[in-house]
Structure 1
Amino acid sequence: MSNPGRPFSWAGLLVRLVLLLALILAARHTSDWVLAHLPGALAEGAHPLRHGMVWGAMLAYVVLLMIPFVPGVEIGLGLMMAFGAGIAPLIYLCTVLALTLAFLIGRCLPETRVIALLSRLRLTRMADLLRQLQPLDTEARLAILMQSPRPRLLSYRFVILAAALNLPGNFVIGGGGGISLIAGFCRLFSLHGFILTVSLAVAPVPVAIFLFG
């Protein structure tokens, strides 16, 4: 007997993928638009933090940086290039905020739905592993995963996270938002450890611009 729900599930998955792609394309277009129009919208000599469009760009930067596969960091770099050292601390705080929000969203993703999706995609080994890890806390998950062929990678997971966030062109592996989302979903990173790692990882460029202009 055929399962009438299965075609509907695949159709729903296709719709979600199309919507996600549309969201990514819209976000990238928004990023390009902001970078192209923001400098010309400011009066010459005006302080950028007193202009409403700059604060709108900050909000757009936070939202875009949270979205996987969107190089939202380009807005932050564009703002710092346009307005110099004075805006670097705010860009830094917005970056940490955006990545932390993406991490928290990852924590809230329902594991049962992800497992079901992996099963439908025939990714049974990954689905089985998640099903095994689902009821466990962070320490228990690490104990199981440390039995993998490359357990030392888990010992350096915070270093790997920092390196991934600073990897040039990392939007092809999800960007800052996607990396943070997965970090939250896998539940191998504590919140305070994640925030500390992100705070250190994204600091060099804003600090350099703030100190040296």
Structure 2
Amino acid sequence: MPTIDWPMDLTPSKATWGLQSNTESFVSPLNRSVQTVERPGARWKATLEFPHMGPDKRRRLEGFLAGLGGMAGRFFLWPHSSPVADIAAAPVDATMALDFLAQSFQVISSVVVNGGLVDFKFLPTKYWPANTLVMKAGEYLGAGGELKMVTADVVSDANGQALIPIAPPFRAAPANLSMVTLNRPKATMMLSADEFAVPVMPGFISDTVVISTVEAFS
């Protein structure tokens, strides 16, 4: 089954993103001291909440979920709460309130991976404006097909290069000169369960619907 995009018109009223790390702790039998090791396999989890929907939007959501075949389906999903890094976009209308339902941006981005990764918790990049705050802690980016969060503010150097601390660590190094995505960077997700249900009230209006998803990778 091919990986499909989450429909642009199915925008949640509330989106909760979190990171599930993969750690293992060892407790000394002698003095009860604890050592914790970070292992590969951290993954994103997201919960999408939809308010009361009319028949058309409700059926669109039901059809999309049914087509996934439960946990077998895969889809690309971006963090709705932070879809575009500040430096990569400016509002089309500076007076416009940027919310989940009215996101419009002029995206300017040509940033690429700069060489190989030495540490999979840092992404070397180039083609930024020189000597500029290019990424802020908590913003998202995509590289090599993986979604990452920036863990600290980053300022580019005089050559427009920047080493970006990210989480979780890369599972595989992105290719040199491959694009860094700042506009709706995506993770490959799957449903957290095989079942879904959309309660419907009189007038064919849905009740609140909550969908739980988790990152999927091989």
Do both proteins adopt the same fold according to a TM-score greater than 0.5, normalized to the shorter chain? no
Structure 1 length-normalised TM: 0.22
Higher strand share: 2
Higher helix share: 1
